Structure 1
Amino acid sequence: MDSIISYLLLYNQFLISTIRHLVLFIVRNIPLQDFKDNHFSPKYQKFTVDTVPIIKKLETLDYKTLLSEYKTENGKELKPIKSRGGKSVSSDAICPRCGAPHNYLYDNNGGRGQLLCKVCDFRFNKDKDDFSSNTLVCPYCGRALAKKKSRKFFNIHKCVNPKCSFYLDSLKKLSPKDLEEFKEDKQKFKLHYIYREFTIDFFKVDLSSMPKGSFSLDFRKFSPHVMGLCLTYHVNLGLSTRATARALWEIHQVKISHVMVSKYAKTAATIVKPFVDDFDYKPTNYLAADETYVKIKGVTHYVWFVMDALKKSILGYQVSNTRSIGPCILAMRMAFDKFKEFPGLKLNFISDGYSVYNLAKQQFLLNDKDFNLIQVIGLTNDDPISKEYRWLKQIIERLNRTFKFSYQVTNGYGSGEGSDAHVGLFVAYYNFLRPHSYTYWEPLNSIKELEAIPNMPGKWQKLIELSQRHILANQAS
């Protein structure tokens, strides 16, 4: 027995020595690839957002004026084009920039569609209705971008110049292995400059629209106090509509259906929304944003939150069926509208590494609103930015967990109106009624009229009354 143990110990030492020699051999002869270099390789940049292109305004001209100027300068008229080799331009072709007729247009690429105007030197494609007074230009090489794809909400423009510095630099970053893979399948790599031009203006979308499904507050069977009880159980305590109806019967002997509880919630959400959205929160220059998923009729939807990371108030929120840029911009607009004067680059906007926030920043920049986007990536502090701003990202994560607690009891929403109502009431409760440790177990935003009321059903009634006054004041102004 002792001899077997001694043999195993010797064999174990032999294995350790062999492993040590193998590790030394690998370190000396096989250089390990730096993870950071691989991380920033163009192979992994599919969802990165490139800088904003240069927008050149193309002046619309009149070909008759240009022909007159040409005759004045040269002492002769500009002759129409005499087609050769049968490459004539169809008679319905017109230059979209100056309006010159077909007899002043060249077939510029052998019948493949591109035409050149002899009067104003403008190149265009007769079969593509993509002429615009604004031309998108690559910020790296100065060449016009080519429209490559059309999506539901945006068009993709690409710089196809093979001598563009952006493309050449991206090509240099490829490792020899990636370079071989690039030659076999170029679709896996993003090497050219790309810009997404959105076809819908998210900055003109109405932010004050109200959810459907509400009804008049003309109480016939129940009193306003019953409505306050419904909101207290349903929103504050996170009970479902059925559990709320059962609690009202078992505790208060009020016989009410869960459908009526749902109607009360939708109506209250409709009324308090303008008051919550227009309240003067006096936000700080540190905002945090995140999105979390919910279920509506079994289909995944998303709730976007933007909050004041220091004062903890929710400033922007949206419910959407997609995780795209549209609802992200709308939630950010709601938050930015809370500033009486936009702070610009003094504003620190903290988010995760999702590329849609880079796209949103780009769109705000095009609308003259710039800010400092700080993206905290991953779950560990592997970079200085994550180490410095992780605590701000954790604040919005805690908000998501608080919201999930109120959402889980619903087992998913039954309609879009129900989700809008629940999120609207949650924001009202979180900002004005819920006690927070940050404010020594007082609400985040103090309202004198609410402080004087000792019970929560009364506070809900007062909040609805203040919201009604706010709506009437807005209608009168």
Structure 2
Amino acid sequence: MRRRKGATVPPEKCVCAHCNAPARYLYVNNGKLGSQVQCKICKRTSPTHKPRRESKTKYWCPHCGNALFRWKEDGISTAYKCPSNKCGCYRRNLVALTPEENQMRLEGKTSQFKLHYLFREFHFASEELPLARQEDSPVDLNRIHHGLHTVGQVLTLTVSFGLSARMSAQAMKHLFGVRISHQTVINYTNAAAAQLSGFVDKNSPKPEGPCAADETYIKVNGITRYTWFIVSKIRRAICGWNLSESRESAPALGLIYNCYGPPDDPVCENAELITDGLPSYDSAVVAYNIEAVKHGHMTVLNKRTVIGLRNLDPESETYREYKQLVERLNRTYKFHTRPRAGFKEFDGAVALTTLFVCYYNFMRPHGSLKHRPPVELECLQGKRLYPDQWVELLRQAA
């Protein structure tokens, strides 16, 4: 058929409802409204099935076909959820609940049950991932009134022995006859953390075998903040660490980047990461694996979950020892942070954690490693005193 110039063309997928004639044999029969077409073959009219308005839905439920609505958004992903209570996915998950869980659901405690179909759209850039590191140095260690040996003594008392800044200043006065204020102790600690930050990351060991991840809380100006660790069971070393103001997916993904490297060039593949039931780890691992697959790698991380304090499922029973390993690391970390009675600034927490990781990996003797540190540096061979070891690390990092 020949159409007039400027005539409205029916949609390409439109067909005659009576003889199934394709769109090239149909013409719009009601002008600009465009809701009815007439067939040139059978001369009968049909609706164009043109929607009244274009749908803005991005994703649809694969189980029931309903449009997914935007449920919530965090730093690295947007979650879309199916709203239908008649969805097959919802009904299957509802039937699978135990009587106790059903009672909790009826009492309104539904936040822990993921019954509806959920889809996450990941959108993040690696350079935007939060990774807390000490960058600003309050003083130049090369231009201080005291020598580096004094700084080594301060770090020994503050970090290795876990004393507070005021107690360290008192110990310096009564043990070594060096009069310094507690603020000077803080300045030396922050300056050393800024200098050693890159050195610690560069010399942190690659993850070997299954690793355990966990987060523990600290207090900064009376507000709860979080420290994240990944520890290797084979070497007992901290392979990745981070600090954040929340327990969202973004800092968890930053922790994984710090431990396993960027997804386009991971340090290992098909690794096992054991975590607790925090959903942030699930989102972070999925996002990391998706990016790795985009760059031609296999699945980098296989996540294992240990729930609660009792082994209520086979996976928790199998990997319980890894959870206990990282909890023991958290207790060691708390021994070094507790004398501070909280931090006044977030940078102070970052500085102390940087020095703690340095001490734990390179200097602290470990009982399961025959009283050797997890990472033995060649530059520390023959140096048995903590002050001398701190001075050597500062010189290597300069």
Report the TM-score when normalising by structure 2: 0.79
Asked if structure 2 preserves the Cα contact closer than 8 Å seen for 1:208 and 1:274, the reply is no
Q: 1:455 aligns with which of 381, 385, 394?
A: 385
Q: 1:405 aligns with which of 335, 338, 349?
A: 335
| 2:29 paired with 1:81 | no
Q: 2:194 aligns with which of 257, 264, 270?
A: 270
How far is 1:136 from its partner?
3.4
Asked if structure 1 preserves the Cα contact closer than 8 Å seen for 2:134 and 2:347, the reply is no
Q: 2:306 aligns with which of 376, 380, 395?
A: 376
Rounded to whole Å, the distance in 2 between the matches of 1:253 and 1:182 is 65
**Aligned AA for 1:157?**
Y
Rounded to whole Å, the distance in 1 between the matches of 2:99 and 2:368 is 54
Asked if structure 2 preserves the Cα contact closer than 8 Å seen for 1:292 and 1:303, the reply is yes
How far is 1:293 from its partner?
1.0
1:148 corresponds to: 70
How far is 1:366 from its partner?
2.3
Q: CA 1:299 to 1:187, structure 2 compared with 1: closer, same or farther past 3 Å? A: closer
- Pairs within 5 Å for 1:48-447: 74=24, 81-82=32-33, 108=52, 115-116=53-54, 123-124=55-56, 135-141=58-64, 143=65, 145-151=67-73, 153=75, 154-160=77-83, 164-173=87-96, 190-197=114-121, 200-201=124-125, 204-205=128-129, 207=131, 209-279=133-203, 281-337=205-261, 341-345=266-270, 347-368=271-292, 369-447=299-377
Rounded to whole Å, the distance in 2 between the matches of 1:174 and 1:233 is 54
Rounded to whole Å, the distance in 1 between the matches of 2:119 and 2:364 is 44
Rounded to whole Å, the distance in 1 between the matches of 2:387 and 2:285 is 41
Unaligned residue ranges in structure 2 (runs of 5+) = 1-5, 13-22, 36-47, 293-298
**Aligned AA for 1:246?**
Q
Asked if structure 2 preserves the Cα contact closer than 8 Å seen for 1:214 and 1:270, the reply is no
* SS of equivalent residue, structure 1 residue 195: strand
Rounded to whole Å, the distance in 1 between the matches of 2:193 and 2:107 is 56
| 2:392 paired with 1:467 | no
Rounded to whole Å, the distance in 1 between the matches of 2:392 and 2:159 is 16
How far is 1:461 from its partner?
1.2
Asked if structure 2 preserves the Cα contact closer than 8 Å seen for 1:280 and 1:338, the reply is no
Asked if structure 2 preserves the Cα contact closer than 8 Å seen for 1:290 and 1:306, the reply is yes
How far is 1:231 from its partner?
0.5
Give the stretch that moved more between structures: 352-361 or 178-187. 178-187
* SS of equivalent residue, structure 1 residue 409: helix
**Aligned AA for 1:81?**
K
**Aligned AA for 1:362?**
V
Asked if structure 2 preserves the Cα contact closer than 8 Å seen for 1:316 and 1:335, the reply is yes
How far is 1:245 from its partner?
0.8
How far is 1:279 from its partner?
1.8
How far is 1:200 from its partner?
4.7
How far is 1:257 from its partner?
1.0
Unaligned residue ranges in structure 1 (runs of 5+) = 1-63, 85-103, 109-114, 117-122, 125-130, 469-477
Cα deviations across residues 119-169 of structure 1 (Å, max 9, x unaligned)? xxxx33xxxxxx7xxx4343445x364223444545331224565431231
Q: How many residues align?
A: 362
Rounded to whole Å, the distance in 2 between the matches of 1:183 and 1:292 is 32
CA RMSD of aligned residues (A): 3.6
Q: CA 1:447 to 1:106, structure 2 compared with 1: closer, same or farther past 3 Å? A: same
Rounded to whole Å, the distance in 1 between the matches of 2:290 and 2:51 is 36
Asked if structure 2 preserves the Cα contact closer than 8 Å seen for 1:288 and 1:307, the reply is yes
**Aligned AA for 1:237?**
F
How far is 1:374 from its partner?
1.1
Q: CA 1:283 to 1:246, structure 2 compared with 1: closer, same or farther past 3 Å? A: same
Rounded to whole Å, the distance in 2 between the matches of 1:171 and 1:218 is 66
Rounded to whole Å, the distance in 1 between the matches of 2:101 and 2:224 is 36
Asked if structure 1 preserves the Cα contact closer than 8 Å seen for 2:130 and 2:254, the reply is no
1:95 corresponds to: none
Asked if structure 2 preserves the Cα contact closer than 8 Å seen for 1:148 and 1:156, the reply is yes
Rounded to whole Å, the distance in 2 between the matches of 1:399 and 1:149 is 36
* SS of equivalent residue, structure 2 residue 225: strand
Asked if structure 2 preserves the Cα contact closer than 8 Å seen for 1:282 and 1:338, the reply is no
How far is 1:378 from its partner?
1.9
Q: CA 1:300 to 1:174, structure 2 compared with 1: closer, same or farther past 3 Å? A: closer
Asked if structure 1 preserves the Cα contact closer than 8 Å seen for 2:131 and 2:243, the reply is no
Q: CA 1:266 to 1:78, structure 2 compared with 1: closer, same or farther past 3 Å? A: farther
Asked if structure 2 preserves the Cα contact closer than 8 Å seen for 1:81 and 1:105, the reply is no
Give the stretch that moved more between structures: 440-449 or 373-382. 373-382
Rounded to whole Å, the distance in 2 between the matches of 1:373 and 1:380 is 19
How far is 1:240 from its partner?
0.6
How far is 1:75 from its partner?
7.5
**Aligned AA for 1:167?**
Y
Cα deviations across residues 9-58 of structure 1 (Å, max 9, x unaligned)? xxxxxxxxxxxxxxxxxxxxxxxxxxxxxxxxxxxxxxxxxxxxxxxxxx
Asked if structure 1 preserves the Cα contact closer than 8 Å seen for 2:104 and 2:110, the reply is no
Rounded to whole Å, the distance in 1 between the matches of 2:101 and 2:146 is 71
Asked if structure 2 preserves the Cα contact closer than 8 Å seen for 1:290 and 1:352, the reply is yes
* SS of equivalent residue, structure 2 residue 224: strand
Query: Larger Rg: 1 or 2?
Result: 1
Asked if structure 1 preserves the Cα contact closer than 8 Å seen for 2:228 and 2:242, the reply is yes
